[in-house]
Amino acid sequence: MQDYLTILNKNYGFKKPEYWLQFASAKRFKEVSFKEVKFCPYCNSSTNTKIGQFIYYSTLHSLLECSSCGLSYVDVLIDPQVRQKHFENAYKSEEYFREERDDIFKQTICLIKKFNKNPQSILELGGATGILGESLIREFPNTLVIINDISNEACTSAQSKGLRTKVGAIPIIKKIEKNSVILALDVLYYEENLKESLLAIYNNLEPDGVLILRIPNKSFLIKLFNKNQKDISDKLIFFNPEHLYLFSQKYLAKNLKELGFKSVEFLPSVLLKKKINILSQFIYYLSLTVFKLTSKVICPAMFVVMKK
């Protein structure tokens, strides 16, 4: 029999471990090493308010909102080896990328064409095995397409498709030449060094270059649905526990302009295929109507397009 009290005392976040004993036993908690995030990863401020909390990998995470820049971030990073293993197992399936993300890729290609008809080069951050990369080569035959990913295995697979690759976390792209378009689809919320990553992205764009992000647009919903959380709450409704950040439109508009981008534009994104059902379709089409009438993006996921 494991001594769950010892585990709760060692793992992060359990100020009253005795409250969590039954939960830890039911979920078979394991000891997980961690690094506390004491300062805002964007502006280094230490003042914040708590949005809510959740359990992930036997660790009690809190989601905090920085009082200075407005970024919402989790207050602890679990063992990088545990995270790396999780991602190596979770996101390798080409079928997942091809099937589930097909509509997202099509929308991304339309957006690139809208903002730059003949890009000299496109860098895709977190591009995995290069499924979108392959389509980009087909759509833009005269463009240099580079795939960046944290997984060695994914980059090797992208190379076999004829793509140039750069393996590592986003800040390493410092060493790549300037790009016309940088894509970061559903990846920015995994990046531990957020400020460094955004600066690296900005510096790797040529003048008038375009950054296209895809991220969840659930800041309002998460705050609304979790405001009465209890001390023993283990889930943050609508928040994906893998994510390190929750980006609001207000935070992005203010801080990315301060970073140097000339414009920051929000656009509704199509949904992942697995998330499509009657209710989500209804919400999606309702949000498109709202966007057409008011230019407000209330869709559960959004594209953010920034011009340097």
DSSP 178: P
DSSP 300: S
193 near Zn ion, rule: CB under 5 A:
no
CA 243 to chain centre: 6
Choosing from 42, 115, 245, 303, the residue that interacts with Zn ion (CB under 5 A) is 42
CB 42 to Zn ion: min, Å? 5
Contact stretch for Zn ion (CB under 5 A) within 56-64, 69-77, 217-225, 250-258: 69-77
By beta-carbon proximity to Zn ion, the closer residue of 49 and 81 is 49
Alpha-carbon distances of 211 from 115, 116, 134, 184, 217, rounded to whole Å: 10, 11, 19, 8, 17
Size of the site for Zn ion (CB under 5 A): 8
Choosing from 6, 9, 22, 45, the residue that interacts with Zn ion (CB under 5 A) is 45
CB 221 to Zn ion: min, Å? 22
Binding marks (x or -) toward Zn ion, 123..162, rule CB under 5 A? ----------------------------------------
Please give the Cα distance from 182 to 163 (Å, whole number).
15
239 near Zn ion, rule: CB under 5 A:
no
By beta-carbon proximity to Zn ion, the closer residue of 69 and 167 is 69
Residue recorded with tokens 């990046």: 191
68 near Zn ion, rule: CB under 5 A:
yes
Contact stretch for Zn ion (CB under 5 A) within 68-76, 135-143, 153-161, 245-253: 68-76
Please report the beta strands in the chain, taking only residues with DSSP state E, as ranges in sequence order.
34-36, 48-56, 59-66, 72-74, 76-78, 121-125, 144-149, 164-167, 179-185, 205-216, 245-246, 263-268, 301-307
69 near Zn ion, rule: CB under 5 A:
yes
Residue recorded with tokens 């060692």: 10
By beta-carbon proximity to Zn ion, the closer residue of 2 and 68 is 68
- One-letter amino acid at 133 equals G
Contact stretch for Zn ion (CB under 5 A) within 63-71, 116-124, 136-144, 235-243: 63-71
40 near Zn ion, rule: CB under 5 A:
yes
CB 198 to Zn ion: min, Å? 12
**HEC string for 256-277:** HHHHCCCEEEEEECCCCHHHCC
By beta-carbon proximity to Zn ion, the closer residue of 2 and 47 is 47
Please give the Cα distance from 66 to 55 (Å, whole number).
21
43 near Zn ion, rule: CB under 5 A:
yes
Encode burial over 144-166: b for 16+ CB neighbours within 10 A, e otherwise.
bbbbbbbbeebbebbeeeebbbb
Q: Which helix (DSSP H) or strand (DSSP E) does residue 194 occupy?
A: helix 194-203
CA 39 to chain centre: 19
CB 86 to Zn ion: min, Å? 26
240 near Zn ion, rule: CB under 5 A:
no
CB 194 to Zn ion: min, Å? 10
By beta-carbon proximity to Zn ion, the closer residue of 72 and 180 is 72
Binding site for Zn ion (CB under 5 A): 40, 42-43, 45, 66, 68-69, 71
